[in-house]
Amino acid sequence: MDSQFWIERWSNKQIGFHQPTVNAYLRRFWPALQIPRAATVFVPLCGKSVDMRWLHEQGHRVLGVEVARIAVAEFFQESALEPQVTVMHPFERWQADDYTLLCGDFFDLSVDQLAEVAAVFDRAALVALPEATRKRYVAKLDAVLPQHVQTLLVGLTYPPEHMAGPPFSVSEAEVLELYSPRDVERLADVDVIDHSDTARFRERGVTRMSEQVYRIG
Ligand SMILES: C[S@@+](CC[C@H](N)C(=O)[O-])C[C@H]1O[C@@H](n2cnc3c(N)ncnc32)[C@H](O)[C@@H]1O
Protein backbone atom coordinates (compact mmCIF):
# COMPACT_ATOMS: atom_id res chain seq x y z
CA MET A 1 0.00 0.00 0.00
CA ASP A 2 2.46 2.56 -1.20
CA SER A 3 1.89 6.09 -2.47
CA GLN A 4 1.17 4.76 -5.96
CA PHE A 5 -1.79 2.76 -4.60
CA TRP A 6 -3.39 5.96 -3.28
CA ILE A 7 -2.55 8.06 -6.33
CA GLU A 8 -4.29 5.43 -8.49
CA ARG A 9 -7.33 5.45 -6.20
CA TRP A 10 -7.61 9.19 -6.71
CA SER A 11 -7.06 8.89 -10.49
CA ASN A 12 -9.77 6.21 -10.70
CA LYS A 13 -12.11 8.19 -8.42
CA GLN A 14 -12.18 5.30 -5.91
CA ILE A 15 -12.57 7.65 -2.98
CA GLY A 16 -15.39 6.10 -0.96
CA PHE A 17 -13.59 7.37 2.16
CA HIS A 18 -14.29 10.99 1.22
CA GLN A 19 -17.19 12.44 3.23
CA PRO A 20 -19.26 15.19 1.59
CA THR A 21 -20.14 16.69 4.98
CA VAL A 22 -18.11 17.68 8.02
CA ASN A 23 -17.28 14.80 10.35
CA ALA A 24 -19.84 14.70 13.17
CA TYR A 25 -17.24 13.73 15.80
CA LEU A 26 -15.09 16.68 14.83
CA ARG A 27 -17.98 19.09 15.38
CA ARG A 28 -18.94 17.42 18.64
CA PHE A 29 -15.58 16.86 20.31
CA TRP A 30 -13.21 19.51 18.94
CA PRO A 31 -14.40 22.23 21.35
CA ALA A 32 -13.32 20.02 24.31
CA LEU A 33 -9.69 20.34 23.18
CA GLN A 34 -9.86 24.12 23.68
CA ILE A 35 -7.43 24.90 20.90
CA PRO A 36 -6.88 28.67 20.53
CA ARG A 37 -8.56 30.14 17.46
CA ALA A 38 -5.49 31.21 15.49
CA ALA A 39 -3.58 28.00 16.21
CA THR A 40 -2.36 25.75 13.42
CA VAL A 41 -4.08 22.38 13.09
CA PHE A 42 -2.30 19.57 11.30
CA VAL A 43 -4.41 17.18 9.21
CA PRO A 44 -2.24 14.22 8.19
CA LEU A 45 -3.19 12.28 5.04
CA CYS A 46 -5.80 14.94 4.47
CA GLY A 47 -7.26 14.02 1.08
CA LYS A 48 -9.67 16.80 0.15
CA SER A 49 -11.49 16.55 3.44
CA VAL A 50 -14.14 19.21 4.09
CA ASP A 51 -13.17 18.89 7.76
CA MET A 52 -10.34 21.27 6.89
CA ARG A 53 -12.89 23.89 5.90
CA TRP A 54 -14.69 23.49 9.23
CA LEU A 55 -11.40 23.83 11.14
CA HIS A 56 -10.66 26.97 9.12
CA GLU A 57 -14.11 28.35 9.97
CA GLN A 58 -13.22 27.96 13.67
CA GLY A 59 -10.39 30.42 13.05
CA HIS A 60 -7.58 27.86 12.79
CA ARG A 61 -4.76 27.79 10.30
CA VAL A 62 -4.80 24.45 8.54
CA LEU A 63 -1.75 22.45 7.52
CA GLY A 64 -2.36 19.24 5.60
CA VAL A 65 -0.16 16.65 3.96
CA GLU A 66 -1.38 14.56 1.08
CA VAL A 67 0.47 12.49 -1.51
CA ALA A 68 -2.15 12.66 -4.28
CA ARG A 69 -1.90 15.88 -6.30
CA ILE A 70 -5.46 15.38 -7.60
CA ALA A 71 -6.80 15.52 -4.03
CA VAL A 72 -4.91 18.72 -3.24
CA ALA A 73 -6.00 20.40 -6.47
CA GLU A 74 -9.64 19.39 -5.94
CA PHE A 75 -9.60 20.67 -2.37
CA PHE A 76 -8.71 24.18 -3.51
CA GLN A 77 -10.98 24.04 -6.54
CA GLU A 78 -13.98 22.91 -4.48
CA SER A 79 -13.19 25.57 -1.87
CA ALA A 80 -13.20 28.20 -4.65
CA LEU A 81 -9.65 29.21 -3.74
CA GLU A 82 -6.75 29.95 -6.06
CA PRO A 83 -3.65 28.57 -4.39
CA GLN A 84 -0.08 29.65 -4.87
CA VAL A 85 2.03 26.60 -5.62
CA THR A 86 5.73 26.62 -4.75
CA VAL A 87 8.37 23.95 -4.45
CA MET A 88 9.49 23.08 -0.93
CA HIS A 89 11.58 20.05 -1.75
CA PRO A 90 10.52 17.22 -1.65
CA PHE A 91 7.02 18.72 -1.36
CA GLU A 92 4.87 21.00 -3.44
CA ARG A 93 3.41 23.63 -1.15
CA TRP A 94 -0.12 24.73 -2.05
CA GLN A 95 -1.24 27.78 -0.11
CA ALA A 96 -4.28 30.06 0.04
CA ASP A 97 -6.15 31.85 2.78
CA ASP A 98 -4.52 30.20 5.85
CA TYR A 99 -4.57 26.77 4.26
CA THR A 100 -1.23 25.12 3.50
CA LEU A 101 -1.31 21.71 1.91
CA LEU A 102 1.99 19.95 1.39
CA CYS A 103 1.73 17.60 -1.53
CA GLY A 104 4.11 14.70 -0.98
CA ASP A 105 4.89 11.79 1.29
CA PHE A 106 4.00 12.17 4.98
CA PHE A 107 7.17 10.24 5.87
CA ASP A 108 9.30 13.03 4.32
CA LEU A 109 8.01 15.70 6.73
CA SER A 110 10.53 17.54 8.87
CA VAL A 111 10.41 19.28 12.26
CA ASP A 112 10.57 22.79 10.80
CA GLN A 113 7.51 22.18 8.59
CA LEU A 114 5.40 21.32 11.66
CA ALA A 115 6.93 23.76 14.14
CA GLU A 116 3.75 25.87 14.45
CA VAL A 117 1.32 22.97 14.93
CA ALA A 118 -0.83 23.08 18.10
CA ALA A 119 -3.23 20.21 17.43
CA VAL A 120 -3.86 17.28 15.11
CA PHE A 121 -7.06 15.93 13.58
CA ASP A 122 -6.75 12.35 12.37
CA ARG A 123 -9.73 10.91 10.54
CA ALA A 124 -9.06 7.98 8.19
CA ALA A 125 -5.27 8.47 8.38
CA LEU A 126 -4.07 5.99 11.03
CA VAL A 127 -6.69 3.46 9.94
CA ALA A 128 -5.68 3.85 6.27
CA LEU A 129 -2.31 2.26 7.05
CA PRO A 130 -1.33 -1.39 7.53
CA GLU A 131 -0.01 -2.43 10.95
CA ALA A 132 3.73 -1.99 10.39
CA THR A 133 3.17 1.40 8.74
CA ARG A 134 0.95 2.52 11.65
CA LYS A 135 3.94 2.13 13.98
CA ARG A 136 6.11 4.20 11.62
CA TYR A 137 3.32 6.78 11.28
CA VAL A 138 2.95 7.38 15.03
CA ALA A 139 6.74 7.34 15.52
CA LYS A 140 7.06 9.94 12.75
CA LEU A 141 4.37 12.15 14.30
CA ASP A 142 6.18 11.91 17.61
CA ALA A 143 9.49 12.80 15.96
CA VAL A 144 8.31 15.83 13.99
CA LEU A 145 5.53 17.44 16.05
CA PRO A 146 6.21 19.90 18.86
CA GLN A 147 5.70 18.61 22.42
CA HIS A 148 2.23 18.72 24.02
CA VAL A 149 0.25 18.73 20.80
CA GLN A 150 -3.25 17.42 21.37
CA THR A 151 -4.80 15.00 18.91
CA LEU A 152 -8.40 14.14 18.11
CA LEU A 153 -8.33 10.68 16.55
CA VAL A 154 -11.23 8.89 14.89
CA GLY A 155 -10.62 5.14 14.95
CA LEU A 156 -12.41 2.17 13.49
CA THR A 157 -12.87 -1.44 14.59
CA TYR A 158 -14.42 -4.47 12.91
CA PRO A 159 -13.61 -8.17 12.93
CA PRO A 160 -10.39 -8.11 10.82
CA GLU A 161 -11.25 -11.46 9.24
CA HIS A 162 -14.34 -9.88 7.64
CA MET A 163 -12.43 -7.59 5.27
CA ALA A 164 -8.93 -6.83 4.06
CA GLY A 165 -8.20 -3.13 4.60
CA PRO A 166 -7.91 -0.31 3.99
CA PRO A 167 -9.50 0.89 6.15
CA PHE A 168 -7.93 -1.31 8.81
CA SER A 169 -9.40 -2.28 12.13
CA VAL A 170 -7.32 -0.66 14.88
CA SER A 171 -8.19 -1.80 18.39
CA GLU A 172 -8.21 0.44 21.44
CA ALA A 173 -5.36 -1.65 22.86
CA GLU A 174 -3.27 -0.84 19.78
CA VAL A 175 -4.08 2.87 20.01
CA LEU A 176 -3.00 2.85 23.67
CA GLU A 177 0.22 1.04 22.81
CA LEU A 178 1.02 3.20 19.79
CA TYR A 179 0.58 6.44 21.73
CA SER A 180 2.08 5.26 25.03
CA PRO A 181 3.08 6.98 27.33
CA ARG A 182 0.71 9.76 26.25
CA ASP A 183 -2.69 10.22 27.84
CA VAL A 184 -5.36 8.55 25.72
CA GLU A 185 -9.00 9.17 26.57
CA ARG A 186 -11.81 7.45 24.65
CA LEU A 187 -14.57 10.01 24.11
CA ALA A 188 -16.98 7.84 22.12
CA ASP A 189 -17.55 4.33 20.82
CA VAL A 190 -20.36 4.20 18.28
CA ASP A 191 -21.87 1.18 16.52
CA VAL A 192 -22.00 2.24 12.86
CA ILE A 193 -22.79 -0.99 11.03
CA ASP A 194 -26.29 0.19 10.11
CA HIS A 195 -25.21 3.65 8.97
CA SER A 196 -25.72 4.49 5.29
CA ASP A 197 -22.03 5.36 4.78
CA THR A 198 -20.90 1.89 5.91
CA ALA A 199 -22.92 0.13 3.17
CA ARG A 200 -19.71 -0.25 1.17
CA PHE A 201 -18.22 -2.29 4.04
CA ARG A 202 -21.33 -4.44 4.48
CA GLU A 203 -21.01 -5.26 0.76
CA ARG A 204 -17.46 -6.46 1.48
CA GLY A 205 -18.72 -8.84 4.19
CA VAL A 206 -18.39 -6.80 7.38
CA THR A 207 -21.20 -7.53 9.87
CA ARG A 208 -19.94 -5.50 12.86
CA MET A 209 -18.26 -2.14 12.87
CA SER A 210 -17.78 0.67 15.32
CA GLU A 211 -15.99 3.99 15.39
CA GLN A 212 -14.04 5.29 18.34
CA VAL A 213 -13.03 8.82 19.11
CA TYR A 214 -9.96 9.48 21.23
CA ARG A 215 -8.43 12.58 22.70
CA ILE A 216 -4.70 12.13 22.97
CA GLY A 217 -3.01 14.63 25.25
C1 LIG B 1 -8.46 7.05 3.61
S2 LIG B 1 -7.93 8.54 2.89
C3 LIG B 1 -8.47 9.73 4.11
C4 LIG B 1 -8.41 11.15 3.63
C5 LIG B 1 -8.93 12.18 4.65
N6 LIG B 1 -8.26 12.09 5.92
C7 LIG B 1 -10.43 12.10 4.80
O8 LIG B 1 -10.90 11.99 5.94
O9 LIG B 1 -11.13 12.15 3.78
C10 LIG B 1 -6.18 8.45 3.15
C11 LIG B 1 -5.43 9.53 2.38
O12 LIG B 1 -4.05 9.47 2.69
C13 LIG B 1 -3.29 9.71 1.52
N14 LIG B 1 -1.98 9.09 1.78
C15 LIG B 1 -1.72 7.76 1.91
N16 LIG B 1 -0.44 7.55 2.20
C17 LIG B 1 0.15 8.79 2.27
C18 LIG B 1 1.47 9.23 2.55
N19 LIG B 1 2.46 8.38 2.83
N20 LIG B 1 1.71 10.56 2.56
C21 LIG B 1 0.72 11.45 2.29
N22 LIG B 1 -0.56 11.08 2.01
C23 LIG B 1 -0.83 9.76 2.00
C24 LIG B 1 -4.12 9.10 0.41
O25 LIG B 1 -3.84 9.63 -0.87
C26 LIG B 1 -5.54 9.41 0.86
O27 LIG B 1 -6.00 10.62 0.33
Residues 6+ apart with CB under 8 A from 68: 6, 7, 9, 10, 47, 103
Q: Is 106 left (phi over 0), alpha (psi -120 to 50) or beta?
A: alpha
Ligand 1 contact, 71 CB (< 6 A):
yes
Say yes or no: CB of residue 127 within 6 Å of ligand 1.
Answer: no
Q: Is the CB of 175 under 6 A from ligand 1?
A: no
Residue 7, C-beta contacts closer than 8 angstroms, at least 6 positions apart: 67, 68, 69, 70
pLDDT one digit per residue (tens) for the chain, 217 residues: 799 999 999 999 999 999 999 999 999 999 999 999 999 999 999 999 999 999 999 999 999 999 999 999 999 999 999 999 999 999 999 999 999 999 999 999 999 999 999 999 999 999 999 999 999 999 999 999 999 899 999 999 999 999 999 999 999 999 999 999 999 999 999 999 999 889 999 999 999 999 999 999 9
Cα separation of the two ends of the chain = 29
pTM of the model: 0.98
Ligand 1 neighbour 153 (Cβ under 6 A): no
Rounded Cα distance, 88 and 156, in Å: 34
Strands (E), the chain: 40-44, 61-66, 84-88, 91-96, 99-103, 117-123, 150-157, 184-191, 210-216
Could you tell me the distance, in angstroms and rounded to a whole number, from the CA of residue 196 to the centre of ligand 1? 22
Ligand 1 atom 11 nearest Cα: 45
Q: Which residues contact 61 (CB under 8 A, 6 or more apart)?
A: 38, 39, 40, 41, 98, 99, 100, 116
User: Within the chain, what is the greatest distance between any pair of CA atoms?
Assistant: 46
pLDDT for position 141: 98
Q: Tell me how far the alpha carbon of residue 125 lies from the centroid of ligand 1, in angstroms.
A: 6
pLDDT of residue 95: 98
Q: Cβ(26) to ligand 1 under 6 A?
A: no
